[in-house]
Amino acid sequence: MGNLFPILLIGCLSMLTAEVFAGVSHVWYVELWDVLITLPLYTAHTLFFFRIAWTRKKTSISQLYLFGMIFALYESWITKVLWAGYPDSAGPVLGTFLGIGISELPILVFFWHPIMSFIVPVLIFQVMTGKILDGHSRILRKTAKKTSVIIMFLIIVSTFIVNGNKSDLLLSNLSVIGSIILIVVFYYLSRKTDLEVLLFRKAGFVIIIIYMFLLYVASFFLIVPERIPRSIIPYISIIVLYAVPIILIRKSEKEETKLTAQDKNRYNIKDLAIFAAITIIAVNSAVILPDISSVVFVFSYYLLGLAGIVLFVSTVFGSIKPK
């Protein structure tokens, strides 16, 4: 039981920042599909890739970004979004190139999943538990500029939440506030732990691998099978997308996985509480101002795609340039 609450904490953090912030999962904590499928999916992927990163000593932010790209590719095999577009759409928003959605790729693989599904939950977990990886010390250092960027991003995210909940005031609030309450509960039950508690031993890791294998195989054939590509090109594109981060991770240098106590110059639990309050206020403001919210949502969707491309290109060049 000692590991259960931290595991649920990191899982709920990933659900909040990946699913709730995207407006995809609503009151997920009372919906059977989300509790039995979506939450375990995000939790298992986070634990799987973080353990590999830790044991290989590849835990820098850029290395976690590359692991997050591999994480993101579940969107092809399980949801088929990278191939066929979002569930409610007739196809990819801007069409496809080599079988992959032109807008879905940069948003989901280059930005959303590496950052929101993986890196952000890992960073928040460190802030909550008070033990920080030395390699993450810089990004968690509190500055006025960084705080302004976070607040602006939370305002943008609020439009995604409201859009996904169809501007329903109650649902929008329940999706965010309910998730935050769960996170607070698991935080209080996990305060005396740190990142190392997320590292399964070999037997536990094998169970995660088996679970993920079965999940991928079953969901590929059972979830929207009509969206499975009939040509070989989309599969080749996905394999290439796997190859890029794997090669760059292997080429990258190892880092010491040393945890140190948080200090007053870094973000703390009070800052997280303030960011949570700002998110709730922003969500309610977005519901009250639907015309402005919808414009911000559409503009931000493509802005995040551009941000994803910039992140990907900078990570690739940062990985291959001579040290």
Domain boundaries along the sequence of the chain: 4-320
pLDDT in tens, 275-311: 999 999 999 999 999 999 999 999 999 999 999 999 9
Pairwise CA distance, residues 100 & 97, whole Å: 5
Which residue in the block uniquely carries the two structure tokens 């699913």?
A: 19
Q: Which pLDDT band, with edges at 50, 70 and 90, does 32 fall under?
A: very high
Task: Give start and end residues of each alpha helix (H) in 56-143.
Answer: 61-72, 74-77, 81-84, 104, 120-129
Residue 112, Cβ neighbours under 10 Å: how many?
25
pLDDT of residue 235 exceeding 80: yes
**Backbone torsions φ then ψ of 312, nearest 5 degrees:** -65, -50
Q: What would the mean pLDDT of 166-193 be, rounded to a whole number?
A: 94
Instruction: Give percent above pLDDT 70 in the chain.
Output: 99
CA dihedral 172, 176, 182, 186 (to 10 degrees): 170
Residue 314, Cβ neighbours under 10 Å: how many?
12
Q: What would the mean pLDDT of 311-322 be, rounded to a whole number?
A: 87
Q: What would the mean pLDDT of 28-47 be, rounded to a whole number?
A: 96
CA distances from 115 to 105, 202, 260 (A): 14, 27, 23
Mean pLDDT for all residues in the chain: 94
The two beta strands, 100-101 and 96-97, are: antiparallel
CB-neighbour burial class of residue 230 (10 A; exposed 0-12, middle 13-18, buried 19+): exposed
The whole-number pLDDT of residue 36 equals 96
Determine the Cα angle at 18 with ends 211 and 21, to 5°.
150
The whole-number pLDDT of residue 323 equals 58
Token duo for residue 129: 């538990």
Which of 93-97, 107-111, 151-155 has the least mean pLDDT? 93-97
The DSSP code sequence of 137-183 is TTTTB--HHHHHHHHHHHHHHHHHHHHHTTT-HHHHHHHHHHHHHHH
pLDDT of residue 1 exceeding 80: no
The whole-number pLDDT of residue 263 equals 85
Token duo for residue 106: 């940069």
Which residue in the block uniquely carries the two structure tokens 């496809």?
A: 96
- In the three-class reduction of DSSP (H, G, I as helix; E, B as strand; rest coil), residue 226 is classed as helix
Give the residue, 319 or 60, on which the prediction is more confident: 60
Give the residue, 63 or 87, on which the prediction is more confident: 63
pLDDT of residue 37 exceeding 60: yes
pLDDT of residue 322 exceeding 80: no
Pairwise CA distance, residues 141 & 127, whole Å: 11
Pairwise CA distance, residues 207 & 242, whole Å: 23
Token duo for residue 304: 């995040």
Q: Which pLDDT band, with edges at 50, 70 and 90, does 185 fall under?
A: very high
Q: What would the mean pLDDT of 73-81 be, rounded to a whole number?
A: 96
pLDDT of residue 134 exceeding 80: yes
